[in-house]
A and B are shown apart, each in its own frame.
Chain A
Amino acid sequence: MDKQEDLIRLENLSVKFGKQMVLDNVSLGIKAGEVVGLIGPNGCGKTTLLNAISGFAPLETGTISFAGRDIMNLAPDQRAVLGIGRSFQHAGVFKELSVSDNIIIGAEKAEKFPWFWMFSTRYREKMDKIVNNTLADVGLSVHKKSLAGILSGGQIRLLELARLQLFKGKLLLIDEPTAGVAPALRQQLAKTIKKLNQEYGFTIIIVEHDLKFLFDLVDRAVVLVDGRKYIEGRPEEIQKDARLKEIYFGTSE
């Protein structure tokens, strides 16, 4: 693997909470344009890995480099500006803002609108178009003026991914997208994620428990167990691993 081509590279990452080692010496390299899945049993450190990359978890040891640049000293908002986008397990949208405001808050930063933009007709029209198109894409146009807090879990997830479309970045970290989403909406979700990768060119790391959903989407999967990398490879290869079945489906121990 040519290290120069990795969009993001983690070397010997360790994260500790109090006395507990949550991530233990994890190394991973991901090339631009890849979709990589991150799986493993609960508590194995998947979300923590995403947190480490986006800057919410301090590293005990190890380095992270993004687009050839060392990012460990950057705050989360600085990493976002650099191009690392994130969706969260439990929170995806601002419930106190309206649906359209949720899009606007992402867009005005991403499109670098000047602070006085709402006084200019030209910018207002541009933003209107962005909001309308984005909401239409995920079927939430009817809720444009409502507070995001009234949306159901699945709709929140869609809104969140819609907002990520506008993100002018290179990497997306998506945390358990199907959690709390009805099976019917999952197809839409998968479509949106594929679009983010293929049309918008994002490199994506997805944490997921729904293996069927995940293996359809990813080029490669990495399995974490107890904070360490267990195996990684193409979905077809990994699925054959006996211990993986045990981890996910349990044995009669």
Chain B
Amino acid sequence: MFFWQILLNSLVLGTQVLLLAVPLYLVHSVCRIYHLALGASGIFTAYALYFALSSSWPLDFAIIFAIIIAIILGLISYRLLDSSVRKKETMPGMLISLAFGIILESLMSIIFGTDAKSLVNGVLPVISWGDLHITVPGIITLAAGIVLALIFLVLINKTPWGRKLTSVSENDNLAASLGIKASSVRLGTFIIAGLLAGFVGIMTTLNTALVPTAGFPLVILAFIVLLIGGLSSLKGVIIAAYTLTLIPEFIISYSGNNWSLGDSWKMLIVFILAALILMWRPNGLFISQTRSD
């Protein structure tokens, strides 16, 4: 595969990772909890879509159904984690999230079985531009990534909601003393996270097979990106997402391994890369610029 194609593939994959890392970042910002069920939640939404499509529902109904499921999962996650957030117990919260993810995975395995399913029958349409090829989901992913990045940049920096989000992330008691309801901000964040995770779940499994266990590696990868990028910097998350995707892709492509082996090596390479970076910068590559006490 030649350079530009690899680059294009990496950009699509990197955007997928970013689209999961951003909700993870947002949830962590407002609750200080790593929402480990996010991956399973996204895959569950993908299964919801699969169920709707294989029951021959019309496409728009199926999509609406998936959206509703994603929102419900966001609501459930919020309710499960809310008491931990209030008591400022981040570790138990994280374990609750992990347990919830396992519950979702087990449910999916029981209901749908562990054999790989496909969301669409047949081969996905591919758009070619000279020697470059990109699948339609790939384009959608890239477009979504760009649109999302712009929306978030504007949303977080310039709107009241963004200010509320930043203030609740930093100090929810102070925000409450200004009349800002932290719980609404959190609920909104969880729902958005559920929707984004659902989108990533569907996009990922359009390209590869739909299996119940696909969620966990996704969320762990997103977490590594978060850790490397620095937990308080959205900019860092963006850069880390693409770096941690590009480097392994290039390593694998230029080392002549065949594709299926590549996926396993990828997780390992990312992990080793992350471990090395963390040795050098334990707080991530980008930390906030504020004066410390």
A and B touch in the complex (CB under 8 A): yes
Seen from chain A, the residues whose Cβ lies within 8 Å of a Cβ on chain B are 54-56, 75-77, 80-81, 85-86, 88, 91-92, 94-97, 101, 104-106, 108-110, 113, 115, 117-118, 147-151, 167
The reply on B1 being an interface residue by CB < 8 A is no
Q: How far is the CA of A215 from the CA of B180 in the complex (A)?
A: 33
Q: How far is the CA of A95 from the CA of B161 in the complex (A)?
A: 17
Q: How far is the CA of A77 from the CA of B177 in the complex (A)?
A: 6
Q: How far is the CA of A105 from the CA of B170 in the complex (A)?
A: 13
- Determine if A97 and B163 form an interchain contact, defined as CB atoms under 8 angstroms apart: yes
Give chain A nearest CB distance to B185 CB in angstroms: 10
Q: How far is the CA of A55 from the CA of B174 in the complex (A)?
A: 12
27 A–B pairs (Cβ distance < 8 Å), ordered by A = A54-B177, A55-B176, A56-B176, A77-B178, A80-B176, A80-B179, A88-B173, A88-B177, A91-B171, A94-B170, A94-B171, A95-B170, A95-B288, A96-B290, A97-B166, A101-B163, A105-B180, A106-B178, A108-B160, A109-B179, A109-B180, A115-B159, A118-B159, A147-B290, A149-B288, A151-B291, A167-B178
The reply on B13 being an interface residue by CB < 8 A is no
Residue of A96, A117, A118 touching B288 (CB-CB under 8 A): A96
Q: How far is the CA of A148 from the CA of B170 in the complex (A)?
A: 12
Q: How far is the CA of A91 from the CA of B290 in the complex (A)?
A: 14
- Determine if A105 and B232 form an interchain contact, defined as CB atoms under 8 angstroms apart: no
Q: Which 8 A-B pairs have the closest CB atoms?
A: A149-B290, A76-B176, A80-B179, A86-B177, A77-B176, A95-B290, A81-B179, A77-B181
- Chain A contacts for B177, CB-based, 8 A: 54, 76-77, 80, 85-86, 88
Residue of A76, A105, A149 touching B289 (CB-CB under 8 A): A149
- Determine if B178 and A80 form an interchain contact, defined as CB atoms under 8 angstroms apart: yes
Q: How far is the CA of A94 from the CA of B172 in the complex (A)?
A: 10
Q: How far is the CA of A109 from the CA of B182 in the complex (A)?
A: 14
- Determine if B171 and A115 form an interchain contact, defined as CB atoms under 8 angstroms apart: no
Seen from chain B, the residues whose Cβ lies within 8 Å of a Cβ on chain A are 158-161, 163-164, 166-167, 169-171, 173-182, 232, 288-291
Inter-chain contact total with CB atoms closer than 8 Å: 85
Q: How far is the CA of A104 from the CA of B180 in the complex (A)?
A: 13
Supplied contacts A77-B181, A108-B163, A150-B290, 16 more A-B pairs, CB within 8 Å: A77-B176, A77-B180, A88-B177, A91-B173, A94-B171, A95-B170, A95-B291, A96-B170, A109-B178, A109-B179, A118-B159, A147-B289, A149-B288, A149-B290, A151-B291, A167-B178
Closest-by-CB residue of A relative to B158 is A118
- Chain A contacts for B158, CB-based, 8 A: 118
- Determine if A105 and B163 form an interchain contact, defined as CB atoms under 8 angstroms apart: yes
- Chain B contacts for A147, CB-based, 8 A: 289-290
Q: How far is the CA of A115 from the CA of B167 in the complex (A)?
A: 16
Closest-by-CB residue of B relative to A106 is B178
Closest-by-CB residue of B relative to A56 is B173
Give chain B nearest CB distance to A167 CB in angstroms: 8
Known A76-B173, A88-B173; judge A105-B178 contact (CB<8 A): yes
- Determine if B178 and A75 form an interchain contact, defined as CB atoms under 8 angstroms apart: no
- Determine if B173 and A94 form an interchain contact, defined as CB atoms under 8 angstroms apart: no
Give chain B nearest CB distance to A182 CB in angstroms: 16
- Chain A contacts for B181, CB-based, 8 A: 75, 77
Closest-by-CB residue of B relative to A150 is B291
Known A88-B173, A147-B289; judge A96-B232 contact (CB<8 A): yes
Give chain A nearest CB distance to B19 CB in angstroms: 23
Closest-by-CB residue of A relative to B167 is A94
Q: How far is the CA of A94 from the CA of B291 in the complex (A)?
A: 12
Give chain B nearest CB distance to A23 CB in angstroms: 18
Q: How far is the CA of A113 from the CA of B291 in the complex (A)?
A: 31
Give chain B nearest CB distance to A89 CB in angstroms: 11
- Determine if B164 and A105 form an interchain contact, defined as CB atoms under 8 angstroms apart: yes
